[in-house]
Amino acid sequence: MYDCIVVGGGIAGLQAAIQLGRYRHRVLVIDKGRGRSTLCRSYHNVLGWPDGVSGQELRHLGRTHAERLGVEFRRDEVVAAARNGRGFQIALADGGGAVHTETLLAATGVLDRFPPLPGLEERLGISVYVCPDCDGYEVGGKRTVVMGSGDTGAGMALALRYWTDRIIYVNHERQAVGSGHADKLKEADIPHVEAEIAEVLGGPDARFDGVRLSDGRTIEGERGFIAFDGNEVHTGWTVALGIERLENRHIVTDPRTKMTNVPGVWAAGDIGVHSEQVTIAMGEGSQAAIWIHKELLKRKTNTAVFV
């Protein structure tokens, strides 16, 4: 039995694994290998990385660090979890089977929804962005194409007005833009195009040059932003545990310990209720790990006294 299983090998999960490894606990990280941090080619707002660092590089460094501390890794997907005695049984997708642990950390994150447009994914984090708080700075004064859907895309275009007045919004999915957002777009002098995007255009080094529409028109740009609703919060596998979730499926945790309403289960990173930032994910990973350690110590002490 493991002392702790960390479900999710992104930024929060890796930081927690490193902390738990330094406590010399037996730790397993289960990760399916795809998430926000695998898609972002560069984070620009992380302390110590003024020129940016890719999610892939952070994951590589984090895993190498954790493995040096004895943390184990398994490429798989968790499909369900259930209490088993004083611990938990974790059901896996790849070939079935299950693993057991005394404590559990959920760090499976969120995945942004976006259409499979040619030329889009390889530019994420370099010239096409997702989060205005993270990367609004990168579009300062530049002609920016917002690729989005309905009010979600309109809201992103309006938010980016803080950074640049050279914005055009392409409503790729042609969902309705409410009158309130439409009026604000007009007031902000942001053109609004109702058309499907056929391709994201660009050159070497993941440069963004604009988009080609399905009707053949081209819209030029220097930077891009995506804003589609329906982001996937990966907490479905926790339902059987009875973990408290909000309507948007984010997990509620104690702000001090990051423990959920289920004793022995913690949550950290983007699946929690907070601003979704890589640096916050790091902090929450460490925070959860510290309290997991306290719980494991308490259990071992109580067992020793009882024996």
In a domain, 170, yes or no: yes
Number of domains forming the structure of the chain = 2
Last residue of a domain, one of 227, 245, 279: 227
Residue 105 contacts residue 13 (beta carbons within 8 Å): yes
Same domain, 238 and 253: yes
In this structure, the dihedral spanned by the alpha carbons of residues 58, 63, 64 and 69, taken in order and rounded to 10 degrees, is 130
124 has which bridge partners?
128
Mean pLDDT of 277-301: 96
Give the gyration radius of the chain's Cα atoms. 22
Any domain includes 307: no
**Cα atoms in the Cβ-side hemisphere of radius 13 Å centred on 278:** 28
The domain that holds 152 is classified in CATH as: 3.50.50.60
pLDDT of residue 106 exceeding 60, the answer is yes
Instruction: Indicate the pLDDT class of residue 61, thresholds 50, 70 and 90.
Output: very high
- 73, 215: one domain: no
Question: Rounded to whole angstroms, how far apart are CA atoms 3 and 21?
Answer: 11
What average pLDDT does this structure show over 80-92? 93
pLDDT of residue 96: 73
Length of the chain measured in residues: 307
pLDDT(13) > 60: yes
Q: What is the DSSP letter of 177?
A: P
> Mean pLDDT score of the chain, rounded to an integer?
95
Dihedral class, residue 141 (left if φ above 0, else alpha if ψ from -120 to 50, else beta): left
Provide the β-strand partners of residue 29: 6, 73
Domain boundary among 186, 212, 227: 227
Q: Is the pLDDT of residue 305 over 70?
A: no
Same domain, 106 and 237: yes
pLDDT per residue as tens digits for the range 148-162: 999 999 999 999 999
Q: Residue 116, exposed/middle/buried by CB under 10 A (0-12, 13-18, 19+)?
A: exposed
Q: 79 and 22, same structural domain?
A: yes
Q: What confidence tens digit (pLDDT) does each residue in 238-254 have?
A: 999 999 999 999 999 99
Looking at the structure, tell me whether residues 156 and 221 fall in a common domain. Answer: yes
Domain that holds residue 171: 128-227
Same domain for 104 and 235?
yes
* pLDDT (0 to 100) of residue 307: 35
pLDDT given at position 303: 62
- Cα gap 232→114, rounded to integer Å: 11
Tens of pLDDT, residues 204-241: 899 999 999 999 999 999 999 999 999 999 999 999 99
One domain for residues 101 and 238? yes
User: What secondary structure letter does DSSP report for 244?
Assistant: -
Instruction: Please give the average per-residue pLDDT across 40-56, as a whole number.
Output: 94
Domain assignment of residue 190, yes or no: yes
pLDDT given at position 275: 79
pLDDT for 88: 97
Query: How many Cβ atoms are within 10 Å of 155's Cβ, its own excluded?
Result: 20
Domain end: 195, 212, 227, which one?
227
Going by pLDDT thresholds of 50, 70 and 90, the confidence category of residue 97 is confident
Residue 145 has pLDDT above 80, yes or no: yes
Q: 159 and 295 in one domain?
A: no
Measured N-to-C along each axis, helices 11-22 and 278-306 cross at an angle, to the nearest 10 degrees, of 40
The predicted model scores a pTM of: 0.93
Amino acid, single-letter form, for residue 286: S
Task: Verify that 213 and 238 share a domain, yes or no.
Answer: no
Do 182 and 263 reside in the same domain of the chain?
A: no
